[in-house]
Amino acid sequence: MAVGTETASAENLASELPQRQHRTLWGDVWLRFRRHTLANVGVVVLVLLVVGVLAGPLVYTVDPEYSFIVDDIDSINQSPSVQYPLGTDDLGRDTLARNLFGGRISLAVGVVAMFVSITFGTLVGVLSGFFRRLDNPLMRFTDLMLALPSLPLLLVIIMLFRDTLKALLGPELGIFLLVVLVIGILGWMPTARVVRGSVLSVKEKEFVEAAVSVGTREPVILWQHILPNVLSPIIVSATLGVAAAILTESALSFLGLGFPSNVPTWGRLLFENKDFITQNPWLVIWPGMFISLTILSINFIGDGLRDALDPRQRR
């Protein structure tokens, strides 16, 4: 009997083995991410928004600055209709075209500012986690940056350097670079702290010790052994960083200190249209809804990624 069950289970095992798929690290992450319902909803919504914003202006070829008053005096403050899918604003400009165009800039600011802050935060975090001598001064610096009030400082820096950069690089590119750089430079600190913590714990692992013992040079250890292992907190904070940057840019524009008025971003549209809220509430609802949907879906994706990348959840 005992022999029989043993062979049976061995047979079972043998028949199971070929069926079990080859699993990769990222394949596992993907499988776990798929189980997170809200994160998947977030991906769908975000993809729709991004595709809409990128491809929309190619399909819907209405000039966002064109005023329909020229054609028809009654075309101001229209509610959504067949002719104007999302209505028109107080100057008779098409709201859909303006929102599509504004979305491009808002999303671009979010992504580029995230790259600035992630690059800087990872650099500081890795350096201070890996090199003991740099740890104290770099972390002091991080603490100091964290104690700076970011929103007031952001407003001040943009106010002060706006005109210079505008003169130097033109109104659009100048302001874009300024906004992106300032948001990135005032937003890297949380990433640096998280990365430092991960580097400190990975540095003590046996495989690093092994690499050191066979005489691997420090840059190689850092690049090939440590960095790949601290990738997951970086990915999560990069995701959440996009949402934070979009939110900050919208707040700046909402206070009237972001992009100039001929460059609509979602925040700028809210700022321009908030005084017409009684005449035409749609003008405020659309851009606000787009900002909220973007941030909500990115936050869902971030939550999903955090769970998917956490090796303790591996089954």
Which residues contribute to the site for another protein (CB under 8 A)? Answer: 143-144, 146-153, 155-157, 159-161, 163-164, 243, 247, 250-251, 254-255, 257, 267, 270, 274, 277-278, 281, 284-285, 288-289, 291-292, 295-296, 299-300
Between 203 and 253, whose beta carbon lies closer to another protein? 253
Measured distance CA(97)–CA(62) in Å, rounded = 6
State residue 306 phi and psi, 5-degree precision: -60, -45
Give least dist CB 80 to another protein, A. 16
First vs last C-alpha separation in the chain: 33
Between 92 and 267, whose beta carbon lies closer to another protein? 267
Measured distance CA(56)–CA(154) in Å, rounded = 32
Give least dist CB 253 to another protein, A. 10
Between 211 and 285, whose beta carbon lies closer to another protein? 285
Between 138 and 226, whose beta carbon lies closer to another protein? 138
Give least dist CB 143 to another protein, A. 8
Give the tokens for residue 164.
């210079």
**Any idea what DSSP says for residue 256?**
T
Q: CA 286 → CA 10, 12, 98, 273, 283, distances in Å?
A: 62, 58, 10, 11, 6
The alpha-helical segments, DSSP class H, found in 148-281 are: 150-169, 171-185, 189-203, 206-213, 218-220, 231-254, 266-273
Between 54 and 146, whose beta carbon lies closer to another protein? 146
Give least dist CB 178 to another protein, A. 12
Give least dist CB 265 to another protein, A. 13
Give least dist CB 111 to another protein, A. 18
Handedness of CA 186, 189, 192, 194 (dihedral sign): negative
Between 66 and 161, whose beta carbon lies closer to another protein? 161
